[in-house]
Amino acid sequence: MGLPKDGSAETIVIPRGKPKSGRVWKEVRKERFSAIKKVKPLRTSWTKKMQQKSIRKSVLSYEKELKEAKAKEKELKRVRQEEHKAKKLENERKSEVVQPIKDTAKIKRMKKKQLRKIEKR
């Protein structure tokens, strides 16, 4: 049935039909997954592992130091800016020429624009 009539031992290759899933590009597995030879990963020695760990630790500590220094610098800058702002405001207030209003009845007669300029201290 499967052998040719001339008696040769060639096997007839039956073409594969279209798979039900529609994935025609997939090949049929010839052997089980467990039978496939797996390549073992390269293993590093304990001393090398410890060396790498110590290097990584030192790099992380150095990184942390840099971050802390940067944060400290930023904080100092912020404090200096706040002090400068406060000093500037104080100096502005000192240098202002003020005219105290002794007659409170004047306030009632003032226009809106003049009232906006009045500041209470």
At residue 11, the pLDDT reads 80
Residue 87 dihedral angles phi and psi, to the nearest 5°: -65, -40
At residue 2, the pLDDT reads 55
Please give the distance of CA 106 from its chain centroid, rounded to a whole number: 62
**CB-based contacts of 121, cutoff 8 Å, min separation 6:** 98
pLDDT tens track for 8-55: 667 888 887 888 888 988 888 888 888 888 888 888 899 999 999 999
pLDDT tens track for 67-103: 999 999 999 999 999 999 999 999 999 998 888 888 8
Q: Specify the pTM.
A: 0.47
Please give the distance of CA 15 from its chain centroid, rounded to a whole number: 53
Residue 72 dihedral angles phi and psi, to the nearest 5°: -65, -45
Mean pLDDT, rounded, for 64-68: 98
Query: What's the one-letter identity of residue 30?
Result: K
